Amino acid sequence: MPRTGAGLLVDALVEAGVRQLFSLSGNQILSVYDATIGRPLPIFHTRHEAGAVHMADASGRLTERPGVALVTAGPGHLNAVSALYGALMSESPMVLLSGHAPRGQAGRGAFQEMDQVGAARPVTKAAWRVEDAARMGAEVARALEIAAAGRPGPVHLSLPGDLLEAEIADGPLSVIPTGATAVSAAADTTLARILELLAGARRPLIVLGPAMARAARAAAVEALTRATGIPALPVESPRGLNDPWLHSAANVFAEADVVLLLGKRLDYGIRFGDPGVFAADRRIIQVDWEAPALARDARVALSVVEDPARLAARLAAAAAARQWKHAAWGDEVRAARAAVPASWMALRDATARPIDPLRVCAALQPYLDRGAILVADGGEFGQWVQAGCEAGTRLINGPSGSIGSAIPMALGAKAAYPDRVVIAALGDGTFGFHAFELDTAARHGLPVVVVVGNDARWNAEHQLQLQHYGAERTVGCELRPTRYDQVAVALGAHGEHVEYPGDLEAALARSVASGRPAVINVMIDGVPAPTYRKSSVGAH
Ligand SMILES: Cc1ncc(C[n+]2csc(CCOP(=O)(O)OP(=O)(O)O)c2C)c(N)n1
Ligand SMILES: [Mg+2]
């Protein structure tokens, strides 16, 4: 069979180690579907293009190898674009491939013709349109490489239908580029200056951005903490310093006098480093893969362009030559992170109805202790789950603050790790965004467990109304106590409805044992998420 642009594309994906495509079909990409026949590249066909992107995003974050979404042109592409924002903000390596109107019809009002690259540019690291069928493989290889290099993030390629279908003449094909775009190493004198600042500090603190907080880079940061005693905290929540997972550690930032930002922008998450966030005499050292991410102003004492993980490893190696005095401070921060209010013990055991969110956390925890992946999303319930559960592997909606991704993210996690239990916990409002991906889960044999905290309202917004406008001015945020478990059953999933706390454990056990995707509809108390900071107006 003659080779086509689509064939080259599929070959390059397989060669690069891509294991699946998360996709929603359309005219312009059927040639790619065809080219996957007989190739080790299964297609997970979703029910919404944003779902495909969330799946690729989850797979990318968990494996650090780019997940790939494949969607059709125009409206399909635009449906996908909204989900790229989450991948961008969570620094997730992934590639969105979108079919595109044939080039021969460009500017003539072709079917679904639009500026796809322009639409994707604000939410991607790089976006371009392939212009040569023979380069189809080389360019997708390049897209995969860019997605994973430096600060990971989404990359978009538009693929004109005529090029995908074009037959490639025999002859040498374009060489697939190798070797990532390297970030140069910081000078040894810079390293020495960082160590000097850290060693001289009373309460130095390492603050990590989303990619730096993930397992792949954690070892370098842990080595630095071991060598110096200096504690590290991630700031990757849409609520920034109000991240309920931080527990009382939310209050240690204000004590930090030297702050080492590793791959963390000086953004809203840490309130731009404004006065009051850190100690009054704080000095900030910022290390980032890219110069543009560095704040170039008086807030920063020292800015360094280098791979933050590599720099952490270099600092750890060089730290041994010095005396460090921060072990007690490090212990203090770790204890604050682990500490939860005493009242929580009783709530985790509470027998009252409606069910307290912490009671749900108590039921989930044994699965997480045994290695289940936790996906937490959406609203006050999602925040409670992040506060009340400790998971070795966790995916949250991240600094994008976008709700709705949990179900497809859980599917992406299950596709990447079929042998692990995957639990998604989300609010009832959030459930509605991508509930139909339960059908995708049923069709493709992805048995994830979805726990819906059903308080019959968009509680996060309701709580803000209470806070800012008062109890008599709450409006428009009610939902119904819908039986989402029955929705799931209709889609071929296992369903459980739980009103009594004592029924949670058995419902979870049956759901995991069912071997099917499952939804547990838990009628919860719509309590506001916890905050531990003295002054807290939560962004979310
Ligand atoms: C895409 C998107 N739309 C809207 C919001 C605003 N928002 C944040 S939380 C929330 C309510 C979520 O309700 P639910 O999932 O039921 O969780 P609950 O707060 O009730 O526990 C809304 C509307 C958002 N963050 N992202
Ligand atoms: Mg709700």
Give me ligand 1 centre to Cα 539, in Å. Answer: 12
- Mean pLDDT, rounded, of the chain: 94
Residue 11: band (very low, low, confident or very high) from pLDDT cuts 50, 70, 90: very high
**Probe ligand 1: pick from 54, 383, 407, 430, max atoms within 8 Å of CB?**
430
pLDDT beyond 70 at 260: yes
**CA distance readout (Å), 41 to 2, 34, 208, 335:** 20, 11, 35, 46
Rounded Cα distance between 471 and 281, Å, is: 41
Q: Which of 451, 459, 525 to mutate to test the pocket of ligand 1 (most atoms within 8 A of CB)?
A: 459
pLDDT at 538: 39
Burial class (CB in 10 A: 0-12, 13-18, 19+), 466: middle
What does the pLDDT read at residue 71? 98
Q: Count CB-CB contacts under 10 A for residue 332.
A: 16
pLDDT of residue 536: 43
What are the tens digits of pLDDT across the range 372-382?
A: 999 999 899 99
**Per-residue confidence (pLDDT) for residue 184, from 0 to 100:** 83
Residue 35 above 70 pLDDT?
yes
The DSSP H or E segment spanning 359 is: helix 357-369
| Residues in Cβ contact with 136 at an 8 Å cutoff, skipping those fewer than 6 apart | 5, 6, 8, 9, 12, 130, 159, 163, 164
Mean pLDDT of 194-198: 97
Nearest Cα to Cα of residue 525 among 361, 294, 322, 321: 361
Pair of tokens at residue 184: 């140069």
Between residues 531 and 193, which one has the greater pLDDT? 193
Atom 25 of ligand 1, nearest CA residue: 402
Q: For Cα atoms 463, 467, 471, give the angle at the middle one, nearest 5 degrees.
A: 80
Q: Relative to the CA of 379, which ligand 1 atom is closest?
A: 19
Query: 433: CA distance to ligand 1 center in Å?
Result: 10
Q: Which ligand sits nearest to residue 538's alpha carbon?
A: 1
Atom of ligand 1 nearest to the CA of 453: 21
Alpha carbon of 452 to ligand 2 centroid (Å): 9
CA distance 276 to 504: 43
Say if residue 8's pLDDT is above 70. Answer: yes
pLDDT of residue 107: 85
Distance CA 143, CA 472 (A): 53
The pLDDT of residue 537 is 38
Q: What is the pLDDT of residue 540?
A: 36
CA-to-CA distance for 454 and 483, rounded, in angstroms?
A: 9
CA–chain centroid gap for 324, Å, is 34
Which of 113, 144, 139, 141 has its CA nearest to residue 128?
139
From residue 439, give the alpha-carbon distance in Å to each of 48, 109, 446: 11, 35, 10
Q: How far is CA 249 from CA 246, 329, 338, in A?
A: 5, 12, 8
Residue 182: pLDDT over 80: no
Exposure string (b/e) for 86-125, b if CB count within 10 Å is 16 or more? Answer: bbbbbbbbbbbbbbbbbeeeeeeebebbbebbebbeebbb
Amino acid sitting at position 96: L
Q: How many Å lie between the centroid of ligand 2 and the Cα of residue 241?
A: 23
Rounded distance between C-alpha atoms, residue 540 and residue 147, angstroms = 27
What does the pLDDT average to over 140-164? 97
Q: What's residue 170's pLDDT? A: 67
Both structure tokens of 168: 């490639």
Distance from the Cα of residue 327 to its chain's centroid:
31
Which one, of 533, 490, 494, lies nearest residue 513 by Cα? 494
* Pocket residues: Cβ below 6 A from ligand 1: 378-381, 401-404, 427-430, 453, 455, 457-461, 540
Q: What confidence score (pLDDT) does residue 121 get?
A: 98
pLDDT band at 174 (very low <50, low <70, confident <90, very high): low
The dihedral built from the CA positions of residue 350, 354, 358 and 364, taken in this order, carries a sign that is: positive
The ligand that comes nearest to the alpha carbon of residue 461 is: 1
CA 430/CA 238 separation, integer angstroms? 15
Ranking 174-183, 401-410, 488-497, 510-519 by mean pLDDT, the lowest is: 174-183
Residue 326 pLDDT > 70, yes or no? yes
d(C-alpha 181, C-alpha 254), whole Å? 37
What is the β-pairing status of strands 449-454 and 154-160?
A: unpaired
pLDDT the model gives residue 294: 83
Ligand 1: atom nearest CA of 430 is 15
Rounded Cα gap, residues 467 and 469, in angstroms? 6
Which carries the bigger pLDDT value, residue 531 or residue 21? 21
Cα separation, 141 vs 242, whole angstroms: 39
Q: What is the pTM of this model?
A: 0.96
State percent of the chain over pLDDT 90.
90
Flag whether pLDDT at 301 surpasses 90. Answer: yes
Nearest CA to ligand 1 atom 1: 402
Atom number of ligand 1 nearest to Cα 403 = 26
Worst-scoring range by mean pLDDT, 169-183, 324-338, 437-451, 499-513? 169-183
**Residue 303: pLDDT above 90?**
yes
CA 477 to ligand 2 center in whole angstroms = 9
CA of 238 to the centre of ligand 1 (A): 12
Nearest 10 degrees: CA dihedral of 206, 207, 211, 213?
70
Mean pLDDT of 148-157: 97
Rg (CA), the chain: 24
Q: 209-250: per-residue pLDDT in tens?
A: 999 999 999 999 999 999 999 999 999 999 999 999 999 999
Q: What is the mean pLDDT of residues 294-315?
A: 92
Q: Give the residue from 460, 474, 467, 448 showing the smallest Cα distance to 382.
A: 460
CA 111 to ligand 2 center in whole angstroms: 40
Q: Which atom of ligand 1 is nearest to the CA of 384?
A: 21
Residue 173 pLDDT grade (very low, low, confident, very high; cuts 50, 70, 90): low
Counting runs of H as helices and runs of E as strands, what totals does the chain give? Answer: 20, 17
State the distance from the centre of ligand 1 to the C-alpha of 75, rounded, in angstroms.
25
- CA 306 – CA 183 distance, rounded (Å): 6
Residue type, 289: W
Question: Which ligand minimizes its atom distance to the CA of 357?
Answer: 1
Portion of the chain with pLDDT greater than 70, in percent = 96
**Which mutation among 82, 381, 458, 524 tests ligand 1's pocket best, with the greatest number of atoms within 8 A of CB?**
458
Give 117 Cα–ligand 1 centroid separation in angstroms: 29
DSSP states along 197-253:
HHHH-SSEEEEE-TTTTSHHHHHHHHHHHHHH---EEE--STTGGG-GGGGGGGGTG
Q: Which of the 8 DSSP states describes residue 355? A: B
Residue range 137-159: mean pLDDT, rounded: 97
Q: Virtual CA dihedral for 291, 65, 117, 43, nearest 10 degrees? A: -170
Q: Which residues contact 345 (CB under 8 A, 6 or more apart)?
A: none
Residue with the smallest CA separation from ligand 1 atom 13 is 458
